[in-house]
């Protein structure tokens, strides 16, 4: 697949298309995609982010923001509730970007994500761990993010409620003078208007969740 395209992977924490937002996210890239009937899938990608304009149809290729990477996933068993293991590696090289009180500079970052998701009725779960390394100006990048969600659905109860608990922990920079940058970079996340948190960097979040379905076409 070659050209301008939307790009979303896994749990959409690192690469999100902004589903539901007014300004969706796309990239200029080349992708190789494979999907096998035995449960294996994945591919590779390389290209550039976009420099978004204020009007319609005026986004331009951002040659200052290059990226490439690969992903692979495997369904560990048979059936729709079998666990799925996903691995994602991405290198992002952004010529100029700011971080808190740091002087803006080049961010050349490697990101490795491991994600496991599945269901054991009536329970469901998702766990993802992300590690980042590389360089920001003359600083070494050492950042990480961990998330875990576990929920239980009550199918025999009216409105089919689901109760869950979510825990997110993202690294932040504790010492601006130690020669390291520990701030986690979520790369291309959902916009803040669609998220239920304050962002993934420098964060410890414990969040209960309740979901109900008053009608087959309405979920709250």
d(CA 146, CA 204) in angstroms, rounded, equals: 10
Mean pLDDT, range 114-127, rounded to an integer: 94
d(CA 55, CA 10) in angstroms, rounded, equals: 30
194, 179 Cβ separation under 8 angstroms:
no
Is omega for the bond preceding 64 within 30 degrees of 0, making it cis? no
The pair of structure tokens assigned to 67 is 């990226």
- Distance from the first to the final alpha carbon of the chain: 36
Q: How confident is the model at residue 17, as a pLDDT?
A: 86
DSSP string, 203-219: EEEEEEEEE--SBTTB-
Is residue 215 exposed (0-12), middle (13-18) or buried (19+ Cβ within 10 Å)? exposed
Return the ∠ at Cα 68 (arms to 84 and 192), rounded to 5°: 70
Q: Could you tell me the pTM of the whole model?
A: 0.89
**Does the structure show a pLDDT above 80 at 196?**
no
Mean pLDDT, range 102-129, rounded to an integer: 93
Mean pLDDT, range 105-118, rounded to an integer: 96
β-pair partners for 102: 99
70 closest CA partner among 84, 49, 90, 86: 90
The number of residues making up the chain comes to: 220
Residue-wise pLDDT tens digits, 123-162: 999 999 999 999 999 999 999 999 999 999 999 999 999 9
Q: How confident is the model at residue 40, as a pLDDT?
A: 92
Return the number of other C-beta atoms located less than 10 Å from residue 192's C-beta: 9
150 closest CA partner among 161, 166, 168, 162: 166
**Does the structure show a pLDDT above 90 at 77?**
no
Residue 193 pLDDT class (50, 70, 90 cuts): low
Q: What would you measure as the largest C-alpha separation in the chain, in angstroms?
A: 58
Q: How many Å is the Cα radius of gyration of the chain?
A: 19
Return the number of other C-beta atoms located less than 10 Å from residue 56's C-beta: 6
47, 39 Cβ separation under 8 angstroms:
no
Q: How confident is the model at residue 153, as a pLDDT?
A: 96
Residue-wise pLDDT tens digits, 158-175: 999 999 999 999 999 888
d(CA 70, CA 87) in angstroms, rounded, equals: 8
């Amino acid at each position: 697949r070659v050209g301008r395209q939307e790009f979303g992977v896994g749990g959409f924490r690192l690469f999100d298309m902004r589903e539901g937002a007014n300004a969706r996210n796309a990239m200029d890239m080349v992708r190789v995609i494979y999907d096998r009937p035995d449960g294996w899938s994945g591919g590779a990608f390389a290209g550039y982010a976009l420099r978004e304009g204020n009007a319609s149809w005026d986004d331009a290729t951002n040659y200052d923001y290059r990226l490439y990477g690969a992903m692979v996933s495997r369904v560990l068993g048979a059936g729709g509730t079998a666990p799925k293991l996903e691995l994602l590696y991405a290198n992002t090289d952004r010529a100029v970007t700011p971080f808190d009180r740091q002087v803006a500079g080049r961010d050349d970052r490697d990101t490795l994500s491991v994600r496991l998701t599945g269901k054991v009725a009536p329970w469901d779960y998702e766990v993802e761990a992300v590690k980042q390394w590389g360089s920001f100006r003359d600083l070494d990048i050492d950042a990480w993010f961990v998330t875990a969600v576990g929920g239980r659905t009550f199918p025999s109860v009216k409105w089919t409620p689901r109760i869950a608990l979510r825990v997110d922990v993202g690294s932040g920079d504790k010492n601006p003078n130690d020669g390291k940058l520990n701030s986690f970079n979520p790369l291309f996340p959902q916009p803040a208007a669609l998220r239920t948190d304050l962002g993934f960097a420098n964060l410890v979040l414990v969040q209960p969740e309740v979901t109900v379905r008053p009608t087959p076409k309405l979920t709250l």
